[in-house]
Amino acid sequence: MSRIDVLITNYQYGRYLKECVDSVLSQNVDNLSILIIDNASTDNSQEVSRRLAANDARISLQLNKENLGRHASLNRGIEWTTGDYFMVLCSDDLLAPGCLRRAISVLDHNEDVAFVYGAEVLWRDGEPLILDESPEYVFRVLDAPQFIKERSLPGEIWISAGALLVRAEAQKRAGHFNPKLHFTEDLEMILRFTLQGRAVQLSAIQGVRRYHGKNHSSALWGNLKEDLIQTEAAFDSFFRHEGGALRNAGALRRMVGRNLAHRAYWGAISHAVRGRPRMSWELFKYCVSHSPSAALVPPVGYLFRAPGVVDRIAQVTGEVWQLLWRQCSRTSLRLPF
């Protein structure tokens, strides 16, 4: 019987911790262990942690007296796990119903698969959360080059930590999280997983990411340029080290750079039509510095490689027409129809 180890990292999220732990314990899987690492929280986190551990023997604790940082907690979890499968979950997030059973089933029956991930939902704190556990789902199997390519396409950057289950031995071989990456250490680690075996993507909702305005990654939300810079840093670190051993690593790295640049281009267009010229110009400069040809030829092909392309084109087209309408109204010009 497969053993599942779940690391829950916490800092100042005592108000969310029990709900997070309950979402793991309610998965109805056998042979489950949870380690909660608290980084010297000053709220009621440690009190909540002790109460949870006292009520369930599957929960163990590491309550730090000083804040050692997120990376230290993540790496301690890697050293702790002795199970078959391993998961990292932030204490402000949740697992969706059936998440572990679906992922375990894939890993149990496919020895060449290193990790399983799925869809996630963004849950704004204070709003109702409705999740239906649908028995129907499909999955895709991806090799390293395909997975890497898709991570650089729009809408395909982030994977919720709670939506990913990895073989513990693959995690051990991949090593520790990179402390030089402050926002995208999880992306770089997942890229390393692709060198340990194939990836399986489930269509089912596997994780719930709670948005409350103080998330670790909130500095990137709504700031596309910083998001691109941090994402590029993760890819660069990967290709400078383990990823350099991939066949056609140079071509893959150039492709990722172009995709990120083209994402910046269309972000610049979107900001321009929303009346945000400064951010539009910053994104355009980022694009041209990575893909000079985009200054002359719009990267239209990039849109067609992205998921939800029809909706995106319709959205951008509508924004452009709205901009034209406003400009015509201001200048008393007439549209030619």
**Cβ of 29: how many Cβ atoms within 10 Å?**
19
Q: Do 186 and 315 belong to one domain?
A: no
The DSSP 8-state label assigned to residue 16 in this structure reads H
**Predicted pLDDT at 334:** 47
Burial of 100 (0-12, 13-18, 19+ CB in 10 A): buried
Last residue of a domain, one of 154, 186, 211: 211
Pairing type for strands 4-10 and 32-39 reads parallel
pLDDT tens for each residue of the chain, 337 residues long: 799 999 999 999 999 999 999 999 999 999 999 999 999 999 999 999 999 999 999 999 999 999 999 999 999 999 999 999 999 999 999 999 999 999 999 999 999 999 999 988 888 888 888 876 666 788 899 999 999 988 887 655 456 556 799 999 999 999 999 999 988 999 999 999 999 999 999 989 999 999 876 665 545 556 889 999 999 999 999 999 999 999 999 999 999 999 999 999 999 998 998 899 999 999 999 999 999 999 899 998 887 766 555 555 556 556 556 666 665 655 544 444 3
Q: Do 167 and 123 belong to one domain?
A: yes
| Best CA proximity match to 256, nearest among 302, 213, 295 | 302
Q: Do 149 and 204 belong to one domain?
A: yes
Q: Do 58 and 190 belong to one domain?
A: yes
This prediction's pTM: 0.86
Burial of 149 (0-12, 13-18, 19+ CB in 10 A): middle
CA 283 vs. chain centroid, Å, equals 22
In a domain, 204, yes or no: yes
Q: Nearest 5°: phi and psi at 145?
A: -60, -40
CATH number, position 189: 3.90.550.10
Q: Do 192 and 309 belong to one domain?
A: no
In a domain, 43, yes or no: yes
Q: Do 191 and 70 belong to one domain?
A: yes
Q: Do 196 and 251 belong to one domain?
A: no
In a domain, 337, yes or no: no
Q: How far apart are the C-alpha atoms of 304 and 281, rounded to whole Å?
A: 24
In a domain, 241, yes or no: no
The DSSP 8-state label assigned to residue 126 in this structure reads T
**Cβ of 227: how many Cβ atoms within 10 Å?**
22
Q: Do 9 and 135 belong to one domain?
A: yes
In a domain, 15, yes or no: yes
CA atoms within 13 A on the CB side of 160: 26
In a domain, 240, yes or no: no
Q: Do 203 and 257 belong to one domain?
A: no
**Predicted pLDDT at 163:** 76
Pairing type for strands 164-167 and 85-90 reads antiparallel
Q: Do 136 and 186 belong to one domain?
A: yes
The count of domains in the chain is: 2
Q: Which amino acid is at 154?
A: P
In a domain, 224, yes or no: no
In a domain, 228, yes or no: no
Domain, as residue range, for 9: 4-211
Q: Do 259 and 207 belong to one domain?
A: no
Provide the strand spans (E) within the chain: 4-10, 32-39, 59-64, 85-90, 94-95, 113-124, 139-142, 164-167, 198-211
Q: Do 271 and 162 belong to one domain?
A: no
**Cβ of 45: how many Cβ atoms within 10 Å?**
23
